[in-house]
Amino acid sequence: MANTLLAAIEAEDSSVVERIVGRLVQEQVQLAGQLVLAGSRPERLLELVQLIERFGYFPRLEVVDESPAELTLRHCPLLSVATRHPGICRVECESMQRVLPGATITRTAHRLAGDPNCKYQITWDSTSPED
């Protein structure tokens, strides 16, 4: 149904889909607001992982000493939509970037590129405050 809806919207005006993706990012960031933006870096990261888990992504977080954290999304509830409308994948990355200020989020693996999972590397900016 989502694919059919997005295809119909694109047929009418392709710029509308871009605005919809932007709106989804805004809504995800707003939803995460109080949960993830409060607390220390480790607390924010754990809250983000718990939120992602609620959306059905089955995340796995690996943190080793001072190395960048690695977040693996072992399931994608949007895969069917993303296959036809790859722009929807921006929602994940942009939302995480905005929810974790002071961090750089880099996608290192992507299902649409043939990888078995989507993976993100999370690196904290050394100039941003810890809490």
The first and second tokens of residue 93, run together, are 């990355």
3-state SS, 19-34, equals HHHHHHHHHHHHHHHH
Q: Is residue 131 part of a domain?
A: no
Q: Is residue 29 part of a domain?
A: yes
Q: What is the mean pLDDT of the chain?
A: 87
Q: Which domain holds residue 81?
A: 2-124
The total number of structural domains in the chain stands at 1
Whichever domain contains 44, its CATH number is 3.30.1380.20
Low-confidence ranges of the chain (pLDDT < 50): none
pLDDT score at 19: 84
pTM to 2 decimal places = 0.83
pLDDT score at 129: 55
Dmax over CA atoms of the chain, in Å, equals: 51
**What φ, ψ does residue 76 adopt, rounded to 5°?**
-130, 105
Q: Which of 80, 79, 76, 93 is nearest to 24 (CA)?
A: 93
Q: Is residue 129 part of a domain?
A: no
